[in-house]
Amino acid sequence: MTAPRDLKYTKSHEWVRIDGDIATFGLTDHAQSELGDITYLELPEVGGAVTQAEPFGVVESVKAASDIYAPLDGEVVEINSTAVDAPDLVNKSPYDDAWLVKIRIADPAQASNLMDPDTYDQFAEESAH
């Protein structure tokens, strides 16, 4: 799957949608396919802080448990409780229904550290080998 063009990406396979001062995070299609059937999500509480490149949650699958890393610094303003209750949504709809958290961005300049879709597609292809 080609990475959606309206998102930014991390080397740890999270996606970011920026809308004003709010950023929405999720796991990429590449991440969910590498993990296999996702069985559990642990996300931070609303009001908590996340720090770029630091873990903010956990995803578990039939294969492994992995940390989920924050693409940007900020304060959590919303979590996707639907995805927590039905973690297999990440497998079915990683870019739409299975967003994970929304944050209020603390430092917009950090977005320059994220990958564009073409760079991410190449990175994901190389990391799959």
Q: What is the pLDDT of residues 65-106, one digit of tens each?
A: 999 999 999 999 999 999 999 999 999 999 999 999 999 999
Tell me the two tokens of residue 36.
């296999």
* Res. 39: pLDDT tops 70: yes
Domains and CATH numbers, the chain: 8-106 (2.40.50.100)
pLDDT band at residue 43 using 50, 70 and 90 as cut-offs = very high
**Counting beta carbons within 10 angstroms of the beta carbon of residue 96, is it exposed (0 to 12), middle (13 to 18) or buried (19 or more)?**
exposed
pLDDT band at residue 127 using 50, 70 and 90 as cut-offs = confident
Angstrom distance (rounded) from CA 71 to CA 10: 6
